[in-house]
Amino acid sequence: MCNKSDKRQSRHKRSKVPSVLIIQKRDIEIIKAVFQYRYLTRSQIQLLFDMKSVTRVNIRLRKLYDNRFLDRYYQPTLLGSSEAIYTIGSCSVHLVAESFGIDIDEVKRRRKIDNVAKNKFINHNLIVNDFRINLMVDIKNHPSFKFIKWLDSRDCEFKFKYNHTNKEVMTSIKPDGYFEFIYQNCSYSFFVEIDLSTSNHSKLKYKFKNYQVFKNLNLFKQEFKKEVFYVLVVTKNNSRTENLHRISNELKTDMFWFSTIDNTAQNILFGNIWKQSGRVESRAFFKQSKVRIVK
């Protein structure tokens, strides 16, 4: 238990005499999740692990922080105080390396990169993580779905060449994430793009075309041994969704699905929250009454 001096200590500094910490199974799972997600806030950890008590979560995270299993920092804010953002600490390196079968030097390298990232990148990553966590909660609530994997942006960048007007063009796709799940022996694959309105329409159209080329050249099949994929584009607001939906319609494809950050906060799989390219009405991926992919 923390003593009185610890209670008054700055949230930006570790306790000089940290309380005794006996690592438990949930602690290990939290550390592994922080490594996989790169950055997690307390509320994201709480949602991911279905931890009801804010006080108990804060106490546990403080112990992991004081004992250097987690690092944390706070982004500057104009009003009030921001929520702590957690990354793995120095004492977690060996645990993470052993848990995931990764070389210790690689874990150290990733930790170093994450600790010097700019706030803009971290904010973007946290929004990606919101989507990912909400997806995991949605899948967990529907046991007929079997989650297979998630790849983050570090693991799913693809560079490729194609011919355009008799010229060889070098291009790439680098989604914010990729995930797969299985339902009734059928595998479904999705790339994720979080759009924060930082790219203009021409750049986005170019990005959408690259996904088409990636598909037409059978590169998806080569990389993932699968035939079909969809691209989920999550935007800041409905106006942006409508604009991007209109751009995608020019490409004559049905692979893109658009929704907003707020709408994907819950019921990602069954909510009528998506606008599919080539269609007008909002729709869901799966129907509740008879669970099947909506074509």
**Domain-terminating residue out of 117, 146, 166:** 117
pLDDT tens-place string over residues 25-61: 999 999 999 999 999 999 999 999 999 999 999 999 9
Segments of the chain scoring below 70 in pLDDT: 1-10, 12, 78-81, 288-295
Q: State residue 167's pLDDT score.
A: 87
| 258 plus 166 within the same structural domain | yes
pLDDT at 80: 58
Specify whether 140 is located in the same domain as 207.
Answer: yes
Same structural domain, 266 and 167: yes
Q: How far is CA 133 from CA 140, 143, 256, in A?
A: 10, 16, 21
In a domain, 222, yes or no: yes
**In the beta sheet, which residues pair with residue 149?**
180
Query: Do 46 and 82 fall within a single domain?
Result: yes
In this structure, is residue 293 part of a structural domain? no
Is residue 211 situated within a structural domain?
Answer: yes
Q: Among 117, 146, 177, which residue terminates a domain?
A: 117
- Among residues of the chain, what percentage have pLDDT more than 70? 92
> Is the alpha carbon torsion for 9, 116, 126, 92 positive or negative?
negative
Assigned domain for 64 exists: yes
Same domain, 187 and 222: yes
Look at residue 8 in the predicted model and tell me its pLDDT.
57
Residues 145 and 256 in one domain: yes
Whether 268 and 175 share a structural domain: yes
Q: Are residues 244 and 147 in the same domain?
A: yes
On whether the CB atoms of residues 227 and 221 are closer than 8 A, the answer is yes
In terms of residue numbers, what domain contains 154?
A: 127-283
Percent of the chain's residues with pLDDT above 90 = 71
Can you name the residues that pair with 235 across neighbouring β-strands?
Answer: 260
User: Which CATH number do you get for residue 223?
Assistant: 3.40.1350
Please report whether residue 99 resides in a domain: yes
Q: What is the 3-state secondary structure (H, E, C) of the chain?
A: CCCHHHHHCCCCCCCCCCCCCCCCHHHHHHHHHHHHHCCEEHHHHHHHCCCCCHHHHHHHHHHHHHCCCEEEECCCCCCCCCCCEEEECHHHHHHHHHHHCCCHHHHHHHHHHHHCCCHHHHHHHHHHHHHHHHHHHHHHCCCCEEEEEEEECCCCCEEEEEEECCEEEEEEECCCEEEEEEECCEEEEEEEEECCCCCCHHHHHHHHHHHHHHHHCCHHHHHHCCCCCEEEEEECCHHHHHHHHHHHHCCCCCCEEEEECCHHHCCCCCCCCEEECCCCCEECCECCCCCCECC
Question: 177 and 252, same structural domain?
Answer: yes
Query: Could you give the number of structural domains in the chain?
Result: 2
Q: Which two tokens stand for residue 213?
A: 């080329």
Shared domain check, 148 and 62: no
Same domain, 77 and 160: no
